[in-house]
Amino acid sequence: MKHYGLIGHPLGHSFSKDYFTEKFRREGLDCEYENYDLPSLRIPKLCGFNVTIPYKESIIPYLDELDPVAAEVGAVNTVKVLDDGRMIGYNTDVIGLNAIIPRALPWADGKMPLRGALVLGTGGASKAVQYILRKNNIPYKTVSRSKEKGDLTYQDLTPEVIQSHLLIINATPVGMTPIINEAPNIPYEVITSQHTLFDLIYNPEETIFLKHGREHGATTINGLAMLHAQAEASWRIWRRAEGTLFQ
């Protein structure tokens, strides 16, 4: 049997174990996927593993090689372990995001003028979002709690800023299970039906961020399709020979 898994802390919100367990059962694969809830980072003995909060950046010094895309993003969510024990880091969040973001654009049908995106948060997932926005030539600004880390702080989000950024992406854990009654601090009252709100969170299915967006007529998208796309991309990496995945 081949052993795979997820490292991170906490892991209560994660659907990855259920996703892979069901996939292995459905496809008759002699494989197992376990959660490794690790209060401090250590590397379990596995054929491959996913990495989540808070280790997507701190795993990098432990790796023998980095895929060029993961190096450019600066975060790793998938590690392939070779037969000789060497570990190669990849970022499949970008693949999951590339399956969603180009189609999520409010102006993708050509009827809307090109306007920028706002990316809430500056962590590992935010870096993958920014990579895909750059690849798709979408102007964006990052929003952080700290002046030093982002282009804007939450206090800078005036009605004008919200009106000139029609795609708003929540790349923070705010609103995720178990603390589901919170939402990023943005002026929801000026959201309109021209906006698209994309939350990387998939548990709960509808966060307060998405609920506020829906109540103001916005198009809303949760992180479930992204989760599935990045999980399948991880599986392709674990199953194939070495090489870069995403050009």
Greatest CA separation for the chain: 56
| Residue with smaller CB distance to ligand NAP, 167 or 226 | 226
16-45 positions binding ligand NAP, by CB under 6 A: none
| Residue with smaller CB distance to ligand NAP, 106 or 175 | 175
d(CA 114, CA 136): 12
State yes or no: residue 89 binds ligand NAP (CB under 6 A): no
State yes or no: residue 124 binds ligand NAP (CB under 6 A): yes
Tokens of 243: 């090489």
User: Considering only residues 98, 122, 220, 234, which one is a binding residue for ligand NAP as defined by CB under 6 A?
Assistant: 122
CB-based contact 164:194 (threshold 8 Å): no
State yes or no: residue 54 binds ligand NAP (CB under 6 A): yes
d(CA 79, CA 221): 27
In the block, which residue shows the tokens 């995720």? Answer: 176
| Residue with smaller CB distance to ligand NAP, 6 or 201 | 201
Residue type, 177: T
Compute how many other C-beta atoms are within 10 angstroms of the C-beta atom of residue 131: 22
CA distances from 7 to 101, 119, 143, 188 (A): 26, 25, 27, 34
State yes or no: residue 201 binds ligand NAP (CB under 6 A): yes
State yes or no: residue 176 binds ligand NAP (CB under 6 A): yes
Q: Which residue is nearest to ligand NAP (CB)?
A: 123
State yes or no: residue 202 binds ligand NAP (CB under 6 A): yes
Q: What DSSP string runs through 31-67?
A: EEEEEEE-SS------SEEEE-TT-TTTTGGG-SEE-
CB of 226 to ligand NAP, least distance (A): 4
Q: Does 56 participate in catalysis according to the annotation?
A: yes
Q: Per CB under 6 A, which region of 101-109, 131-139, 168-176, 234-242 contacts ligand NAP?
A: 168-176
Please calculate the CA angle 83-89-95 and round it to the nearest 5 degrees: 120
In the set 56, 147, 149, 211, the catalytic residue is 56
State yes or no: residue 123 binds ligand NAP (CB under 6 A): yes
Contact residues toward ligand NAP (CB under 6 A) are 53-54, 56, 93, 96, 121-126, 144-146, 149-150, 171-174, 176, 200-202, 223, 226-227, 230
Positions annotated as catalytic residues are: 56
